[in-house]
Amino acid sequence: MRRFIDSEVGATAVFVAALMMLFLSILAWAIDGGLAYDERRDTQSAADMAALAAAFAGPDCENQDWQAAGAEAAEENGFVNDGVTANVTVTNLAPSPGFGPFHARVESIQNTFFASALGTGTSTVASEATASCVKKSGLGDYAVFAAATNCPPNELKINASGMTIDGGVHSNDDLLLTAQAANPGYVDGDITWVDNANISNVTAINGGSAYQWDVAANGYPPTPGGWDIDDYRPTAGPVPPLSGPNNQGSAGYYYYPSGATLSGPLADGIYFAEGDLVLQAFSANAATFVATGQIEIKGVANVLTSPFDSTGLGVFSDFPGVPKCTGLDLAINWSGSSHTWSGAQYAPNGLIDMSGASNSSVNGSIIAYRIDLSGANIAITYDNSFTGVPVTSLRLEK
């Protein structure tokens, strides 16, 4: 009888021991697995940042040491590539020509707690990410671009006979694009708008098309240009192709502290005015005009042969300082006739109005918050040599 009881007790002990081993295994899995889950979030964050840093440092954006940049980003997020606590690898998935995308893998080597008692002393948690960076120059093939999204009616208004536009036309809201049946207009490029469009006697040619921009799917297109008024102030750094400790001390830089009226032949250079600037009966071989206030171009046969600014900026008004829809938002105003202009026109906060000008030609883009190009016989030609400020697009792919 005692042997039977001892046998039963022994069997129970074995069973309990087995249950304890199972319980410890489950506990080890739960605790170490939970720690691994937390660690995976950290490694994923580090891999994301490493891939983004490598892509940004790659040849197409900053052209720096992308491997070092990726490793440094992983280290800043807690993972040093020492082979003991972590492994970090950063690779270029397209080594020729070397522009990426860039891939990062971060491995965390952890000492286990409960699982080590079961013979598993370390575990490895790994995460991966891929990123790309593209720096785009140019003005997006847009000859005319209105950035306002809610300034009705007709954020972009072009009502002109004999009008020709070589390049894309876009409005971030409403578009009025009309000409006379006897003297129709032509756009050599796409005609796009976001909200409403009234297009009459104007045709997109040479493969261009007219369609409503899908904001829900694509978002608003990036506004071309990207120029900053502070880059042209006399205390700013040198504006290409200028040199020197500051703009005011550079050759080819002209500063007017309280506005100016310029006429006649002008020397090559950048002309900056605090306040309003008037251009009347002037001619310039290479010039760029920038003002904090309104810019008025009036008279007959004003001529700008080329922009002085290396990015293609011809005229820039920062008026009224912040975007406005109606009222006192006239930034650049044209009147008179027979103007010949080369260089981008830029008014990010206000209205460019050429409705008072006729028989004129513009070689470059017209970019503003609102635009009114109503007039007669206006020719606008996009120039892809005018780059604007390059736009950097950094994207985490997966």
Q: Is residue 101 reached through a cis peptide bond, with omega within 30 degrees of 0 on the bond before it?
A: yes
Identify the segments of the chain with pLDDT beneath 50: 4, 115
pLDDT tens digits along 124-170: 888 899 998 887 778 989 999 999 999 888 799 998 888 899 999 99
Sign of the CA dihedral running 60, 64, 66, 69: negative
Number of neighbours of residue 11 by Cβ within 10 angstroms? 10
Closest by Cα among 100, 112, 108 to 46: 108
Residue 44 buriedness (CB in 10 A; 0-12 / 13-18 / 19+): middle
Per DSSP, the three-state class of 343 is coil
Distance CA 127, CA 40 (A): 7
| Domain residue ranges of the chain, discontinuous segments joined by + | 2-136, 142-390
Q: Are 90 and 104 in contact (CB under 8 A)?
A: yes
194 vs 212: CA distance, rounded Å: 6
Q: Token digits for 31?
A: 């605790």
pTM, two decimals, is 0.73
Q: Output the pLDDT for position 220.
A: 92
Residue 113 zone, left/alpha/beta (φ > 0; ψ -120 to 50; rest):
alpha
Per-residue pLDDT at 36: 54
Angle at 273 between CA 270 and CA 276, to 5 degrees: 130
Q: What angle is formed at CA 342 by the lines to CA 339 and CA 346, rounded to 5 degrees?
A: 100
